[in-house]
Amino acid sequence: MSNIERYGGGVVSQRADVSRRTGKTLAAIGEHALVADAVEQGRAWIAHAAMTNVAALSSEEAAYAEMFPHAVGRFSAIADAYTLGAVRAIGQWNG
């Protein structure tokens, strides 16, 4: 009589159980990887949008500074405040 027969298929069922658990673990790892990638893609999209906005604001700031030199400090403060807020938002974004 073999061990498999004596133990009622215990070795075979243990292997199947390990295989099933391994499959579930690999599936969970894959799901976590997909979520992490989506979060990173979201952060990149936000960073791209922020850089586009900062470029536009900087261009406007320069144009307005030429037209209204007495308000240069205000224009700078507004552009800087937006930029700092965008940097904070990107750093804190977790999807």
CB 88 within 8 A of CB 95: no
What span, in angstroms and rounded, lies between the C-alpha atoms of 61 and 55?
10
3-state class percentages of the chain: helix first, strand second, coil last, to nearest 5: 90, 0, 10
pLDDT in tens, 27-70: 889 999 999 999 999 999 999 999 999 999 999 999 999 999 99
What is the pLDDT, as a whole number, of residue 23? 85
Q: pLDDT confidence of 22, banded at 50, 70, 90?
A: confident
Q: pLDDT at position 2, please?
A: 52
How many domains does the chain contain in total? 1
pTM: 0.65
Q: Which two tokens stand for residue 40?
A: 């990173």
Q: Which domain holds residue 15?
A: 3-92
Question: What pLDDT shows up at residue 29?
Answer: 92
Contacts for 68 with CB less than 8 Å, ≥ 6 apart: 75
- With beta carbons less than 8 A apart as the criterion, state whether 92 and 43 touch: no
